Structure 1
Amino acid sequence: MKQILLVIILLSFNVVTAQNEKEKVKNTIDSFFESFHNQDSVTMKKNVSEKVIIQSIGENQIGGTVVNETSFSDFLKSISSIPKDISFKEELLDYQISIDGSMANVWTPYKFYFNDSLSHCGVNSFQLVKINGKWQIIYIIDTRRKEKCE
């Protein structure tokens, strides 16, 4: 009986630990977007690794799929250059978080609003790594579309 109780306790501990890590990963994503919406490049930098990669999947003029890459410094410049009288918000609709040791993947469908009007929607995929006890975003790729955003 004691062995069964010990196994149940150990399994419960593993579930709680996994949920804690998922919450920490989610907090990293939330902090990134909070600083994004506030145009706070200092805080945004705290959530990413020095060598973060940012890519976007879209279509070219003839409907072919293209992958565009943006440096993080160019991304920060574009965010900070948005005039304060223009509103923008990326609304994350869900978080699907998978973790294996020091690596995490987060899949977040989203809708992007520009001046309170729906601009586009898609999915973000984040890769994170846990370094020195802190989750950092190392890779972001997203899709963008104007149709089927319901």
Structure 2
Amino acid sequence: MKTAITILLSFISLNFTFAQQTLKDQEEIHQILNAFMQSIAKKDSITFNSLFFKETVNWISVIKEKSQAKRLEAKPTITKNYFTGTYSSFIQSILQSKKSEEKFEKIIIQNDDVIASVTFDYSFWSEDSMTNWGEEYWQLIKINGKWKITSVLFSIEISKYYPKS
């Protein structure tokens, strides 16, 4: 009986420790999301760049079908409904633009102790007007105790065609 109680208490203790670590990791990931948004608003490329894995990072966007159809109406020669880029080229475009802001809603984080995925709805704003919106998916890894973004994948609905309701 004593052994069974000891095993049960050990199991509860391990679950509690894991839950505490998961909550700590999720808070750290929330801090990355906030730093991402703030660095865009403040045009802070140093902070922005520090959020990313220094090796290859996927940066891919796909324009939603309704918005792509409107783009094709305006310019039938458009052949791609997607673009690829880099986080560094993205922040460089922000530095050259006027006022920019990205907002996140409905954030969902799933993680273990070294990998994580984050999904959320986003809206991108330029000069206080929403230019596009959609869903965004990030993958992160934890290296030497620090979370880094390794992949950014997002859909784009163009606000001038389809305003977010």
Q: TM-score range by the shorter chain?
A: 0.7 to 0.9
| Structure 2 unmatched ranges of 5 or more | 74-78
Which whole-Å CA distance do the structure 2 matches of 1:97 and 1:28 have between them? 12
Partner of 2:19 in structure 1? Answer: 15
Shift of 1:112: 2.2
Shift of 1:3: 3.8
| Structure 1 unmatched ranges of 5 or more | none
**Cα deviation 1:123-146 (Å, max 9, x = unaligned):** 111111111111001111111113
Query: 2:139·2:152 contact (CA, 8 Å) conserved in 1?
Result: yes
1:53 matched to 2:58: yes
Cα RMSD, aligned residues only: 2.2
1:134 matched to 2:134: no
State the TM-score, normalized to the length of structure 1: 0.85
Partner of 1:75 in structure 2? Answer: 90
Query: 2:140·2:147 contact (CA, 8 Å) conserved in 1?
Result: yes
**Percent identical:** 23
Which whole-Å CA distance do the structure 2 matches of 1:102 and 1:3 have between them? 27
- Which runs of structure 1 show a deviation greater than 4 angstroms over 4 or more consecutive aligned residues? none
Q: Which amino acid in structure 2 is aligned with residue 69 of structure 1?
A: T
Which whole-Å CA distance do the structure 1 matches of 2:87 and 2:132 have between them? 21
Larger Rg: 2
Partner of 1:106 in structure 2? Answer: 118
Comparing both structures, which one devotes a greater share of its residues to strand? 1
Which whole-Å CA distance do the structure 2 matches of 1:48 and 1:111 have between them? 21
Q: Which amino acid in structure 2 is aligned with residue 42 of structure 1?
A: I
Q: Secondary structure at the match of 2:81?
A: strand
Q: Which amino acid in structure 2 is aligned with residue 103 of structure 1?
A: I
Comparing both structures, which one devotes a greater share of its residues to helix? 2
Distance change >3 Å, CA 106–CA 20, structure 1 → 2: same
